[in-house]
Amino acid sequence: MASVKEIQTTCCYCGSGCQLLFTVDQGANKILDVHPVKGRTNDDKACLKGWYGWDYLNDPQIITKRIREPMIRKNGRASPLTAVSWDEAIKFVADNLKKIKEKWGPDSIMGAGSARGPGNEPNYLMQKFIRACIGTNNIDHCARICHAASVVGSMQTIGEGAMSLSIPEIEDCEVIFNIGYNAAASHPIVARRIVRAKEKGAYIICADPRITETARIADLHLQIKGGSNIALTNAMANVIVTEGLQDQAFIKAHTKDFDAFWEIVKVYTPEHSAKICGVSPDAIRLAARKYAGSKHSVILWGMGVTQFQQGVEVVKSNCSLAMLTGNFGHYACGTGPVRGQNNVQGTCDMGVLPNVYPGYQSVTDPKIKEKFEKAWGAKLSDKVGLTLTRVPERVVHEKDPAKQIHAYYIFGEDPGQSDPDLEELRETLDKIDFVVCQDIFWNKTTQHADAILPATAWGEHDGVYTSSDRGFQRIRKVLEPTGNVKDDWEIICLVSTAMGYPMKYKNVQEIWDEMRNLSPKFKGATYEKLERQGSVQWPCWDEKPEDTGTMFLHEGGKFATPDGIGIFKTSHYQPPAETENSDFPLTLCTVREVGHYSVRTMTGNCRALRNLEDEPGWVEISPEDAETLKIASGELVRISSKRGTCITRANVTERVKKGAVYMTYQWWIGACNELTISRLDPSSSTPEYKYCACKVEKLRDQKAAWDDVNRQYEDIRAKMRIEKERALA
Ligand SMILES: Nc1nc2c(c(=O)[nH]1)N[C@H]1C(S)=C(S)[C@@H](COP(=O)(O)OP(=O)(O)OC[C@H]3O[C@@H](n4cnc5c(=O)[nH]c(N)nc54)[C@H](O)[C@@H]3O)O[C@H]1N2
Ligand SMILES: Nc1nc2c(c(=O)[nH]1)N[C@H]1C(S)=C(S)[C@@H](COP(=O)(O)OP(=O)(O)OC[C@H]3O[C@@H](n4cnc5c(=O)[nH]c(N)nc54)[C@H](O)[C@@H]3O)O[C@H]1N2
Ligand code: SF4
Ligand SMILES: [Mo]
């Protein structure tokens, strides 16, 4: 008799937080069926990644393979990675980190947490390890290269960095202002809510330089020039004030600094901004009137806002637009920075950031520090730590060894694929004395590691994720892991203990409870409540069953700032750092596609998803540019910037405007981050992934180009130590 069991868990890809039901033959340790079931955010739906994205658990070895043994380089970077016992690997990591800490001090060590498979509990431990055992606040994660600008900009205006509303509320909004967000590809299950809102009569405004699916269903598509967001949002505010459409009572009761805001905004008449944005003044007027015309208006935004050096400024401007029109503090309105990864909201919640402990408690507040010192029995640093995008500065560009980063502990991230300007990143990794990778797959970063610690994947461990709308939800173990792997939390405990700061837990729930007791905002979100409710949205202050969590923030206009008052802020427009020029006449913007996910270690190893799309990816180019370059759709082309070059296929499409090309960052051969610029937003340190200058060249000998692609594919597979036959279609 097969021991067949049904187990519900949360999807491991995007922040939509869909609920999936696995049917498992536990005797055979085999998945029999997976389908979506009703959850708070997803009803009973999932996108194709939910349906098919678990195949990587079978390790089909298409682009990379699972790591099953701890590995170290016994004699420095030039020596090979060899499999060793856990004891030897842990000792090796602990000894090297200890040596570096003694020689160069705690601030010479950097840690990166993971917004992906591991979940909240191992991330809580990761920041605890870096802070209490190493003794530095140098801890960060991929939110930095993602929605950090949303956190910083929202904190400075409305006091809370997360989505103010919930995913289900979106369908009851009357006006959706969608700016720099492509839900159909990024959060398909959020996209359904946008479609439903449309069906219920909502007016949809889409500001995006491309014709996305949201643009297609929008009532008004503002096809603005890349990098011109703030000229648009300032002009919308200008129209609202000039035409007297603002909510004076809300402004008076709940906000401050309107006058300083107006000093900037008054310059941005629709006529002035129209020239910067490349849309008509009347379209801007219409957008402003519609947006201000409802108390159920929401602004949804994504990477088209944050991944610019002016990202934080646009976020502040978005929050100000919502304050200006009284669109905060009640059902179906507010601000929606829709967090990308399955657990990027959670990894921020857990304090895997250089400035805050779990629960967004400042590392510079002496009382808070004292609380954590007491709880953790360690002396903690009151100095804000390093952001991960500034690691290259502190390695390649810092000449004083005393100020350099000497060790990098990378837990569940692949900067070797996902960070900008990969040439510089590789140089950085190569110069760092000691690099640790704790991952489930061989990836581009593991190539540079001195030690590799193999972890269990989503589906092989328990825990909690936080969905984009502040919803804590359980993940559950579905399969028994195979190979010599350990849970992420256990690995961190072993390293910490070996370094002389003992950490010991029975299970993830014990870690969760420690975290809750130190984080007032999350205190009430017990495992019991999570079981009972399925999802608990923070803040949830009280363990009592009556406190079921919080659907929307800033109720009644009371903001999360210290005095409860919202602060108007915006900035003047600045062009992107690197603009088109005679050598590089096109602009490159990098985005995502629906079937593959971030660095693709996981979706690249799911057969159904691989069959949809494979290397070397695509570059979207306008018919006009393609004609000038004599490029046909499907042809291989070379694309280059000042920093690097790669081969990809041309997708000639009317969805993009002349002069601008788009790549997705999922591809290892068509790797757009060889080209991107590492220019950062000064206040959030988020890179300007969405804009740099490039050129596209026709490749006359297509056969030679395909041979090159195939060679590169084989080379990658060899580096990832794949043993299986090439499974390419
Ligand atoms: N050009 C360009 N680049 C970008 C972007 C862009 O728009 N354009 N977007 C950026 C954004 S928004 C983000 S968030 C980043 C994402 O970049 P990353 O965070 O680097 O990418 P991910 O694919 O999410 O996963 C990182 C690693 O986690 C590992 N992993 C998954 N589950 C587990 C687990 O349970 N345990 C352990 N130990 N490891 C696990 C995976 O194998 C993978 O190696 O990319 C950024 N890069
Ligand atoms: N399938 C899949 N889903 C994912 C991911 C994935 O890799 N694959 N990654 C996840 C992650 S980490 C994240 S952060 C989210 C991100 O999801 P999104 O925020 O949707 O990110 P992008 O697709 O990078 O960019 C959004 C849009 O910004 C537009 N844009 C570019 N420049 C500008 C500009 O100057 N102004 C405006 N207004 N728009 C501009 C682009 O054309 C694009 O349509 O997706 C998550 N979901
Ligand atoms: S929408 Fe996101 S959470 Fe839902 S199934 Fe797709 S990838 Fe998973
Ligand atoms: Mo992201």
pLDDT digits (tens, 9 = 90+) for 89-99: 999 999 999 99
**Cα of 12 from ligand 4 centre, angstroms:** 13
**Cα of 181 from ligand 2 centre, angstroms:** 5
What's the CA dihedral at 53, 58, 60, 66 to 10 degrees? Answer: 100
* Contact predicate 396/424, CB 8 Å: yes
pLDDT of amino acid 465: 98
465 SS3 class: strand
**pLDDT tens digits, residue range 510-550?**
999 999 999 999 999 999 999 999 999 999 999 999 999 99
Ligand 3 pocket residue status of 13, Cβ below 6 Å:
yes
pLDDT of amino acid 288: 98
Region at 226 (left for phi over 0; alpha for psi -120 to 50; beta for the rest)? beta
Mean pLDDT of 456-466: 98
Model pTM score: 0.97
Q: Which H, E and C letters describe 4-58, residue by residue?
A: EEEEEEECCCECCCCEEEEEEECCCCEEEEEEEECECCCECCCCHHHHHCCHHHH
**pLDDT tens digits, residue range 565-598?**
999 999 999 999 999 999 999 999 999 999 999 9
pLDDT tops 90 at residue 720? yes
pLDDT tops 60 at residue 353? yes
Ligand 3 pocket residue status of 188, Cβ below 6 Å:
yes
Within the chain, what is the greatest distance between any pair of CA atoms?
75
Ligand 1 pocket residue status of 15, Cβ below 6 Å:
no
**Cα of 222 from ligand 2 centre, angstroms:** 17
The ligand 1 atom nearest the CA atom of 118: 35
Least confident span in 59-63, 172-176, 380-384, 497-501: 59-63
**Cα of 347 from ligand 3 centre, angstroms:** 18
Ligand 3 pocket residue status of 49, Cβ below 6 Å:
yes
Mean of the per-residue pLDDT values for the chain?
Answer: 97
- Ligand 2: residues whose CB is within 6 Å? 14, 146, 179-182, 185-187, 207-210, 212, 224, 226-227, 229, 302-304, 340-341, 589, 591-592, 594, 596-598, 690
Ligand 3 pocket residue status of 339, Cβ below 6 Å:
no
pLDDT of amino acid 1: 56
Q: What percent of the chain has pLDDT over 70?
A: 99
**Cα of 115 from ligand 4 centre, angstroms:** 9
Ligand 1 pocket residue status of 341, Cβ below 6 Å:
yes
pLDDT tops 80 at residue 200? yes
pLDDT tops 90 at residue 725? no
Cα–Cα distance between 71 and 67 in angstroms, integer? Answer: 9
Residue nearest to atom 30 of ligand 2 (CA): 304
* Contact predicate 617/666, CB 8 Å: yes
pLDDT tops 50 at residue 729? no
The ligand 2 atom nearest the CA atom of 590: 24
Burial (CB count <10 Å: 0-12, 13-18, 19+), residue 504: exposed
Residue nearest to atom 6 of ligand 2 (CA): 597
With the most atoms of ligand 3 within 8 angstroms of its CB, the residue from 49, 54, 598 to mutate is 49
Ligand 1 pocket residue status of 668, Cβ below 6 Å:
no
**pLDDT tens digits, residue range 374-418?**
999 999 999 999 999 999 999 999 999 999 999 999 999 999 999
End-to-end CA distance of the chain: 37
* Contact predicate 175/291, CB 8 Å: yes
Cα–Cα distance between 181 and 658 in angstroms, integer? Answer: 21
Q: Which two tokens stand for residue 570?
A: 């915006």
pLDDT of amino acid 724: 80
DSSP H helices in 394-518: 415-418, 422-431, 488-498, 508-518
Cα–Cα distance between 560 and 553 in angstroms, integer? Answer: 8
**Exposure class string for 361-378: b at 16+ Cβ within 10 A, else e:** bebeeeebbeebeeebee
Ligand 1 pocket residue status of 345, Cβ below 6 Å:
no
Indicate which ligand has the atom closest to the C-alpha of 47.
3
* Contact predicate 363/356, CB 8 Å: yes
**Cα of 664 from ligand 2 centre, angstroms:** 9
**Cα of 24 from ligand 3 centre, angstroms:** 20
pLDDT of amino acid 726: 66
**pLDDT tens digits, residue range 542-574?**
999 999 999 999 999 999 999 999 999 999 999
* Contact predicate 310/296, CB 8 Å: no
**pLDDT tens digits, residue range 232-290?**
999 999 999 999 999 999 999 999 999 999 999 999 999 999 999 999 999 999 999 99
**Cα of 338 from ligand 3 centre, angstroms:** 13
Ligand 1 pocket residue status of 118, Cβ below 6 Å:
yes
Mean pLDDT of 113-126: 98
**Cα of 230 from ligand 4 centre, angstroms:** 21
Closest CA to 530 of 442, 617, 455, 464: 464
**Cα of 311 from ligand 2 centre, angstroms:** 13
Residue nearest to atom 17 of ligand 2 (CA): 186
pLDDT tops 60 at residue 303? yes
